[in-house]
A and B are shown apart, each in its own frame.
Chain A
Amino acid sequence: MASGHSVDAILEDCRALVEDPEFPAVHRWLEANPGGKVLGHFQVYFPEEIPHAAGMLPVKILGAGSAVQIRKADARIAAFVCSIIRSSLELALTGRLDFLSVFVTPPICDAARNACGVWVRNLPKVNCQMLYLPQNVTSPHAAAYLRDEYRRIAHVIEETTGRPIMEAALCRSIALFNENRRLLRELYRVKRETPWLLSAVEAYTLVRAGGVMPREEHNVLLRQVLELVPQRPGKRQDKIRVVFEGGYCEQPPADLLAVIQDACYIVDDDLLIGLRWLTEDVPTDGDPLANLARAYLDGSSYSPVQHDPRKPKPEMLLRRIREATAEAAIVAAPKMCEPGLEEQVNHIRALEKAGIPHLVMEFEEKMTVFEQMRMEVETFAESLLLDFA
């Protein structure tokens, strides 16, 4: 990626990458790696270290926002299904994902599970797989199961690339992704502590770029940004500090986030939480697949699509708010998203009980009109500012 020498120039490049439904970074990688194979994976989390160790490029498939009009997918999937499922399929049916050799869907929700069947039927050239990530995460048997499930996926990848995944290569990939996660944590620290230097939309764009470009390049880019951000001009404003919750799967339009950040500082969020799912470094010694499995179960974030009695979601949200020293929350859910909408009720009850102001909203990746939402957010923020005055 030809990044410039300023944060703004880097951001401009990233924005072009993430908004282009033709996946230009993937095509650049394929030009540089003739015969290279690409693995696509659907939300929320996938252990990208495994394809990376095989020399594949892992790519996050997370819909097309408003960049693509859904036509073909609508004839394949019922209308009452969320947008990300349909727009991801549209990308595939319109040939934009012809570079994929393998596509993996964790069955995070009932629509995603069905989508795998639709992909299998309609895309015979892609090896479509479901990866059953455990929902019984506290079972003493879950780690061994998940290690072997990762091994199964590794075999699929080995068959695709025609080369074995060596332990040493996997450990090197884990180290590379550890570094990426460390840099993303740092990015979030900067956003949390100095949101006037790095806005939520900017941070989001930088994170999202990691899903469509080689992670080595992403690490270079993040290091550059983190070095340059403190030099940016920026002045702290009197804004409410909020946490945005509800962006773990379908992504809200960047314009929606911009509307919120015009009125508030978004100091933490669960946007693309899958790229930040592992919260600690994964050990690089020992059995790498077992280490990845253990990290998924015990050293990970939370989302409505994982059941973990150790991490009750409403309490986790309250913790996120506390740790970000936020004053309020925006609890969003994508339209038609069963897990998100169900979780929203629990979140609202917990916030009410804790006396934390919150704004509830529903969004869709294809939204293009935000005036009504702008008014709601501004009213919410102003009422809090007056309340705190």
Chain B
Amino acid sequence: MAETKTPIGFIRNEGRRLMDRWWQEMTAADGAGRPTAYVFVMGSLDEILRVFDLPINCPEITSLQTAVRGRSLEYLQTAEGYGYSPDICGYVKADVGLQLKDRQHPNGTVPKPALAIATNMCNTYIKWAEIWEQMYHCPVFVLDLPAWRGGDVTPRVDGEAFRNDRRYVEGQLRDLIGLCERLTGRRFDIDRLREVMAEVNRMAAGYQAVLSLNRHRPAPFSAIREGIVFQGISNLYRGTPEGSRFFEGAAEELRERIHLGMGTLNEKYRLLLTGTTCYAALKRFAELFEEWGGVFVHSTYMVFAGGGFGSDFAYDVTRPIESLAETLLLSAWRGFSTPMFYAQDWLAETVREWSVDGICFHGVKSCRTTSTGLPDVREWLRTHFDIPGLFIQSDLVDPRMWSDAQLKNRIDAFIESLAGRRATGSHEAGIRRPSDANAAR
């Protein structure tokens, strides 16, 4: 087979095309009164929903898009006018505002939910789904994914506790299948599930290839600029050939960029983002670092909101439901919960593997899931691994929480400190292996 060369610009153009197509499908589904499933980025269960041809709406994505389009404030204020506090999740409020505005989004129309699926990976998911339950009286299916319990972050898959978790998750998946059968009037087709899962495996491989390519110096993509495209496509097109092809093409384009010596900019400092970016000021957020040659080569967000595609992610399609349960659990332990709740070792390992100079901890007022313990993790990494970290705060989608001058001040100082480390050579001597620090505990 002749080698195909993916053109530079594929990620941007194909990403935009797929996103536009998804919005067209959403709007068409609304027009046709077609039932839609509302899902979240951590544990969406697209594998099962696609068997029943249920279109998927991902409200975290529609909410962040209101911010990227510069329109989030009007949605937030609509929700606050309805009674939601300034102190709760901005994604929730942007979505409530959207629902109260007859589901009219700057990009199209969101259909009503016929079913909502929430996992316990973020407790706000459950409260959010309860809002739709109140608004639309739709069924809400909460999938429990018991994950990290304290202590070691790696579950003993042959242990009694993990077997218990696996039984529970598998049972719940069978409950969900029954619910989808009743909702759609269609019989479950296990061979179709195998096909979708095989496609997810393909996408996971592509996604992993994309992430790994950013170990290269200079990094061929920005984890917050193009990262947002990867997040969107991995969630909205999970289990589809278009989604898999996108990541294969993206990897090809990135290899081509590496071949041509193209980085995202004149890379001086390689950075890791913990938490999420501020979508209400996405471009500016990146610029504040890029002005200094700082490029985000990776982010925890690309892990926990990236479909749980850890390096060992792979479904065994010969035993689909069992494997789905097991892989979801492992994703919950390693991909969804560890980078948020007990992240220090994962971060230290990533710093080493991606040759990171420093970590930006972005505390998001809206999101206690990603942000509560960040000051502590930052301090731990500083004292145990000598990894420099910057802690800044703003929000996901609320432009009122963005303070440009204050952030610039702190970011400038942080980059200067990285420059100082580089000048003295302490950046190379300082970073220790997590195992060394564990042994010292």
Contact = CB atoms under 8 A, between A and B. Distances in A.
Nearest to B139: A309
B372 A110 contact: yes
A304 B126 CA distance: 10
A305 B352 CA distance: 39
A313 B134 CA distance: 10
A314 B131 CA distance: 12
A338 B377 CA distance: 22
Given A124-B441, A336-B87, A341-B84, A77 B146 contact: no
Contacts of A149: 146, 164
Contact of B149 (A118, A129, A142, A335): A129
Interface in B120-175: 120, 122-124, 126-131, 133-134, 139-144, 146-151, 160-161, 164-165, 167-168, 171-172, 175
A108 B368 contact: no
B114 to A, nearest CB: 16
B164 A80 contact: no
Nearest to A308: B142
A338 B89 contact: yes
B127 A80 contact: no
A206 interface: no
B375 interface: yes
B43 to A, nearest CB: 12
A384 interface: no
Q: Which of A113, A148, A333, A339 is the most central at the interface, judged by chain B CB atoms within 10 Å of its CB? A: A113
Given A108-B123, A339-B123, A144 B372 contact: no
Interface stretch (B181-189, B217-225, B340-348): B340-348
A141 interface: yes
Given A78-B393, A80-B87, A130 B149 contact: yes
A341 B368 contact: no
A110 B124 contact: yes
A109 interface: yes
B342 A117 contact: yes
Q: Which of B123, B379, B441 is the most central at the interface, judged by chain A CB atoms within 10 Å of its CB? A: B123
Contacts of A77: 372-373, 375-376
B240 interface: no
A338 B341 contact: no
B323 interface: no
Contacts of A109: 123, 368
Nearest to A80: B365
A113 B164 contact: no
B373 A118 contact: yes
B150 A120 contact: yes
B122 A110 contact: yes
Given A139-B171, A145-B168, A342-B92, A111 B368 contact: yes
A132 B87 CA distance: 26
Interface string A316-360: 000000000000000001011011011111101100000000000
Nearest to A75: B375
B83 interface: yes
B369 A148 contact: no
A121 B380 contact: yes
Nearest to B87: A336
A132 B146 contact: yes
B88 A342 contact: yes
A86 B312 CA distance: 36
B368 A130 contact: no
Q: Which of B144, B337, B367, B374 is the most central at the interface, judged by chain A CB atoms within 10 Å of its CB? A: B144
Contact of B130 (A80, A121, A139, A346): A346
Given A339-B127, A342-B131, A81 B368 contact: yes
Interface residues on B, range: 35 or more
Interface string B333-376: 00001001111100000000000000000010101110111111
Interface in A270-314: 304-305, 307, 309, 312-314
A139 B376 contact: no
B85 interface: yes
A383 interface: no
B271 to A, nearest CB: 20
A132 B83 contact: no
A358 to B, nearest CB: 12
A110 B368 contact: yes
Interface residues of A, number: 62
Contacts of B120: 107, 132, 135
A81 B370 CA distance: 12
B84 A345 contact: yes
Contacts of B88: 338, 341-342
A115 interface: yes
Interface string B273-294: 0000000000000000000000
A128 interface: yes
A291 to B, nearest CB: 18
B87 A335 contact: yes
A127 interface: yes
B341 A152 contact: no
A69 interface: no
B341 to A, nearest CB: 4
Interface string B410-439: 000000000000000000000000000000
A134 interface: yes
B333 to A, nearest CB: 12
A92 interface: no
Nearest to B168: A145
Contacts of A35: none
A136 B43 CA distance: 14
A78 B363 contact: yes
Nearest to B368: A110
A333 B84 CA distance: 12
A305 B142 contact: no
A76 interface: yes
A129 B147 CA distance: 11
B92 A136 contact: no
B422 to A, nearest CB: 27
Contacts of B441: 124
A150 B146 CA distance: 13
Given A121-B344, A342-B84, A130 B144 contact: no
B376 A121 contact: yes
Contacts of B133: 309, 312
B122 to A, nearest CB: 6
A2 to B, nearest CB: 38
A139 B150 contact: no
Nearest to A132: B146
A85 B144 contact: no
A7 interface: no
Given A80-B393, A109-B368, 20 more contacts: A75-B375, A77-B375, A78-B375, A108-B123, A111-B372, A113-B372, A114-B373, A121-B380, A128-B150, A129-B151, A130-B148, A135-B120, A136-B142, A139-B171, A142-B168, A152-B149, A304-B127, A338-B88, A339-B123, A342-B131
9 contacts: A107-B123, A109-B368, A110-B123, A113-B369, A115-B372, A128-B151, A130-B150, A136-B172, A345-B84
Q: Closest 6 A-B residue pairs measured CB to CB?
A: A141-B171, A114-B372, A145-B168, A110-B369, A148-B164, A132-B146
Interface of A: 75-81, 85, 107-111, 113-118, 120-122, 124, 127-132, 134-136, 139-142, 144-145, 148-149, 152, 304-305, 307, 309, 312-314, 333, 335-336, 338-339, 341-346, 348-349, 362
